[in-house]
Each structure stands twice: as structure tokens, then as C-alpha cells.
Structure 1
């Protein structure tokens, strides 16, 4: 069987790294398995975190987190997990490359992936001048002209939400997805311009947006924006294979105190958990899960989701 880790953490984003740091400080044998393609890889700036008034990129947080975890002996492996099963009191984790890992406990920190079109200029702007989460970054639009790059109902609702911070909003319905009359009326009542046509590209410099060019050739000069296309991928397939209960939107359900799922010795943390999707919450989830993983390894009974 080889090495049996105290805990295998699936996902090396913010929640997974924070859990790894905590478990490493308990001197636990921990392996983080990371595909390297999560949400935090793309974000160029988190702007609402304590201690980072100028913002910090996902890449920098991940790099610092990994270094901090490695100092406590945590190991890392690049790769994708295909499946995980409980066998002889241990979890057998199968990787895409055919390798197998064994662990006493599992933490699923697999996250979500935002659906975004392949638009030139979009990725360099994420977290710098184009944002995803209004609770995190609506403040960045304060009294400025803003654009919502989106689709249908989801994009329209984002535009309405952002009207709390600015009244000068253009909603570009990139996929020309129909919206109902009620929603259309709400946009009109708030003075939100609705354009139903494809976007050709974004003009940016070092992540700073300057204009949005439409397929028609028209340019909209704007410095801030949000994306809202809906249909984000919730990476809970592995959880489902393990028999973990999911919310109707495919997010993982956990005990609010311990972060353990309904499956004994399987925890989950971060954006894949229902109603997380904040870096600070992901960090808290990771620590909380790690504390209770440690307690379980000491033989302490841990409440799980029912």
C-alpha cells in the first residue's frame, strides 16, 4: 500500500491551502493534489481581504500558501483525481495518470469554474478592472461608468445588483439570450442601457480596461466591468461519486460547524460548498475543516451533515 497520508486534500486553491497549513501545523502527514486550473489561478486581484488594501492576486496567494504549507512538511502533487473509494478503512484515490494515493481522511476543495467566453483581453482584466463577485468588488465601481458582460437573466440581474454602486451601467447581452418583460422593465426603470449583440474584444493595458469593442465595430469606452454568464461549473462530481449529498445547485452540503459531509471522514471546503464563494470564507472553511480532521484523527467524534 505504501504511504498512507493522514489527509489527502483534493484542490490546491485558497481553502485547500489554508487547510493544509493548519494540518501541517498539527504535524499531520498531508498531501495536496492540485490540477492547477481553479478560479484563484485566473484572478489577478482580490480586493476585499484584511491586510491587502491594494489587492493581492490569486497566483501570489497560492504561491505564498504553498511555501507556508511546505515549511510544515505538507507535500504537493500536480494532477487530476479520477475517483476515490473507501477500501479497508482507507480512502484509495485514483489519479488521472494511473497513480494511487491512500489517505485516512479526505478534504474536497475542488472549487468552481466560471463560464466565460473566449474574448481577447478578458483574462488579464479579471480582478483588476473586470470582476465576478458584486459582494467582493461592487465597491470598485463606485460612481463610475461600468459594463456588464453577460447573458440573459443572469447578466440583467447582475446589472441591477450593481446599480447600488453606480447608476451608469451598460449591459451587453453577448449571447443575445432573451430576458422577460419584467426584467427588461426593471433595467429600463433603473436607466440601465441594454445592448443585445456580441462582443468582439476588450481593449486593455496591463489588466486595465479602456474599451469594449462590439462585433458591429462600435466601441464603448469604460474602465470597469463585471462578467455574468451563468452556468458556472461546480466541481462536485467526485463528491457525488463518494455518496456526498449535494444542494440542488450541485454545491456540497456540510455540517456548518465541522465542515464534514454526510459521508464519514469526508470533508469539503471553499467555493464548492454551498454559499461560500468568498476568499475569506474559503480560508475560514479550510481552517475549520482542518481542526475537525485533526480531532477525528485523535478519535474524537465529529458531527457530520445529516
Structure 2
């Protein structure tokens, strides 16, 4: 079992930013990544400093990995399925991947993110981040005065449509799974002039350029659109490793961290990015990755000082 100063579980935006920071501290750092995640699906982020014309999640990941590797950070393609603390507090952690391989770390960063729940609709994924979005804070601006379809389920989709109504008066909400909607939400949809459709979606019709053209319903009816949002609720928060280690989580499974250091309730275990409690934006994930890495460095320096002091006592 190979030993590392820091193991980062998750090679998305938060994990890569932390890896770069820790690499600059010249630690032995391993990033374990399964090669999937929210950022692999987004074809263009539009709200990042320095990228006025947008940048894809894949491109950010590619650049970030190259930058980390230049600093000596090691990458492993694996999915961690088990995490345990090693005996005495502060002596590290053991991780086991689906590959059967084991990893050992003094400090651990969980940057495992989340995955949006969405149906496997033809044409949908090719538009994500280009003309179909998931985050109203990130991309509400992109639908300004555009014909927009919210593809969702029940109250999750209704809430998204109501939130987006400030950006465009041309909104349609398609309740794909026909789940119940609170009377208050239905009244608000009607009051704001949002067209409501209670029917399954058959496919998203899009051009080769990733621009949504329309949505075809199960009945064959077609609704034209220039932009789209998805809001099905029940997103998968990938925090099971935190549960295994005994870290505090909220009811929605997001990991609770210290606001200053991003450390979880378990000493020497940190969390950053969408798996934590935050606004689920790339820029925030980057900041949290750096923030966690800074405090991981402080912890490692403290461990080194304590080890040196102990060795001095033994020798005296």
C-alpha cells in the first residue's frame, strides 16, 4: 500500500485546485478520480473570470491536471469505495478502490461532488452548458428574453421555473414525471404566465452546434425553445465516504465543514466543492479547494513538528 501526505478523492474542479496548491507545498499528493462527475458534462461555463467566451468542464479538468502533474502530483484512475481511519487519531487513513488497490494518507480531502438527476433523453447531454443549464445562479443570465423550457419534475421544476421568471417572460415548464405540485406553486406559475405542460418528454431536438431547437413530447407534440433548464430534484450527493468516516452530514447528505478551514467534523478530513454545503459554482469550488489545501498544509506542518519533538525526546 503506497503512502501519501495527502490523498484527494475526486479530480473535478475543487480537487484539482487543491492538488495544485498542495503540489506547490511539495507534498506527496495523490488524486484518485473515477473520470466522471458534474464538470465532465458541462460543455461551457460562462461565468468564470478570464473565460468571457466560456470554457468546458473537460478543458478545465485537462488544464488543471496538466498543471498539477507539473508539480509532481500523482493521478490514479479508480473509484474509492471504502475509507477507514487508522487506529490512533492523526495516524492517517486507508482507502480502498473498486480496483482492489489500497491507498494510505496522512490527510484526506473529499472532493467527490454530486450528480444531477436527469432522464436519459436523446439530445439532452449534447446541449448541457451550451443552451441547457442546471444552475440558475450560474446561467440564469443566459436565458434573458429567450424562449425557455424548464424540464423538471414536480415542485423542483416548478420552483426552478418561478426562479427563472425574472429573466424571461417566455417560459414553459414541462413536468416530465407528472409528479404532484403544491397548489401555491401552481397558482404562482399561472400568475407569472408560465405555460405548464403535464406530459413526458420524448427527446430534445438540437442542432450539431449544441443549440436546443425544441422538445418533442411523448404525444408527438413539439414545443420550440432557444434555451432550457433541468430541475428534476433528488440529485446524488457523493458523500458516502464521509459517512463511513463518521463525518457530520446534513439531511440532504451534503458534508458539514468548518467555514474557515473546510475541515469536516473528523480531524484531518476535509471536504470541498459540491459535496459540501455551498452555492455549487465552479468559482466557489476552486476557492474551497485552495482553502482546504492551505489548512491541510498547516496540519501536516504540525504533524511534522510533533514528530520531530517526539524523536528528540526519544533520543535524549
TM above 0.5, one fold?
A: yes
Aligned to 2:307: none
Tell me what 1:107 maps to: 109
2:77 matched residue in structure 1: 78
Separation (CA, whole Å) in 2 of partners of 1:269 and 1:59: 19
**Any stretches of 5+ residues in structure 2 without a counterpart?**
305-316
Q: How does 1:147-158 map to 2 (within 5 A)?
A: 147-158=149-160
Aligned residue number for residue 231 of structure 1: 234
Distance in 2, Cα, partners of 1:300 & 1:255 = 20
Report the counterpart of residue 254 of structure 1 in structure 2: 257
- State the partner residue of 2:277: 274
Q: What does the per-residue CA deviation read over 1:220-244, in whole Å, with 9 as the maximum and x for residues that have no partner?
A: 1111010000000000111010000
Distance 1:293 1:90 in 2: 13
| Residue 203 of structure 1, aligned match among 196, 199, 205 | 205
Asked whether 1:192 is paired with 2:212, we answer no
What does the per-residue CA deviation read over 1:25-77, in whole Å, with 9 as the maximum and x for residues that have no partner?
Answer: 11111000001111001111111000111111000000000000000000000
Structure 1 residue runs of 5 or longer lacking an equivalent are: 302-306
Shift of 1:178: 1.4
Rg (Cα) greater in structure: 2
Q: In 2, are the aligned partners of 1:270 and 1:276 still within 8 Å (CA)?
A: no
TM-superposed CA distance for 1:276, in Å, is: 3.5
**Which of 213, 217, 220 is the matching residue for 1:214?**
217
Contact 1:119 1:201 in 2 (8 A): yes
Q: Distance in 2 between matches of 1:93 and 1:166?
A: 48
The CA distance in 2 between the partners of 1:251 and 1:258, in whole Å, is 17
Is 1:94 the equivalent of 2:93? Answer: no
User: What secondary structure does 1:298 align onto?
Assistant: helix
Q: TM-score, normalised by structure 1?
A: 0.96
User: Which digits, 9 at most, give the CA deviation of each residue in 1:268-298, with x for residues without a partner?
Assistant: 0000001241000000000000000011111
Q: How far off its partner does 1:108 sit?
A: 0.2
TM, length-normalised to structure 2: 0.93
Name the one with the larger helix percent.
2
